[in-house]
Every structure is written in structure tokens, then in C-alpha cells.
Amino acid sequence: DGGITQSPKYLFRKEGQNVTLSCEQNLNHDAMYWYRQDPGQGLRLIYYSQIVNDFQKGDIAEGYSVSREKKESFPLTVTSAQKNPTAFYLCASRGSRSGELFFGEGSRLTVL
């Protein structure tokens, strides 16, 4: 089945550690996105990529990094510089400028 796969679904990390969240899509979409969602809040854009080897900062990029070496993959690294990393992270992709976003099931990160 075509879709977006995020892993891991749940992740625990100690303060001061970097962690990488995986996002893979087999929809052949050019654009990919990372959002963060806190309890009772909407989605805030972290990074997005319109094409391989290119990406742009969203509204809350500080403390995060991404790469886009392959069309199918857009991993997100939550670095130790991110002051409040505990959140629900959502990855999405889009096939065209007029198309909708397809979301993964999310990764819930908890910093202990």
C-alpha cells in the first residue's frame, strides 16, 4: 500500500541526547513536511522540502535539523539544543502544489 511511514511510534530520550525520527514515503511525492503538535495545539511547521537536496525552515526550526538525500526519505533530528522537545511529531508529503497533505501516524517523543 502507498503511504507514509513514521518510526518509531514512541520514543524516550534523556536530556542532552540527539534523536532522529524517520519518515519514508512511497507516493513519489516531491514535497515533504515535518510538524510538531503539543497537547491541545495545532500543527507547527518545523521544516519542509520541495525537492531532493533542498529544504527550508518553518516557523520553529531552532533545535532541529533535517536532510533530504532521497525523494522517499526526510528524517528529522531533534538535537539537544531543542529546549522543550517532548511532543507529537508528524511527517507529511504532497504530490502537487494543488494537492492535499498525506500524513503519517506520528512519532511521540518524550524526554525524561
Partner 1 sequence: SQKIEQNSEALNIQEGKTATLTCNYTNYSPAYLQWYRQDPGRGPVFLLLIRENEKEKRKERLKVTFDTTLKQSLFHITASQPADSATYLCALDEMDDDKIIFGKGTRLHILP
- Residues in the site for partner 1, rule: CB under 8 A? 31, 33, 35, 40-45, 48, 50, 56, 58-59, 88, 90, 92, 94, 97-106
Closer to partner 1 by Cβ: residue 13 or 60: 60
In whole angstroms, the minimum distance from the beta carbon of 80 to partner 1 comes to 27
Minimal distance, residue 105 CB to partner 1, in Å:
5
Task: Look at strands 10-13 and 19-25 and give their pairing.
Answer: unpaired
- Tally of CB atoms within 10 A around 1: 3
Side by side, the strands of the sheet bearing 64-66 are 4-7, 19-25, 76-78, 64-66
φ, ψ at 68 (rounded to 5°): -140, 75
CB closer to partner 1, 43 vs 75: 43
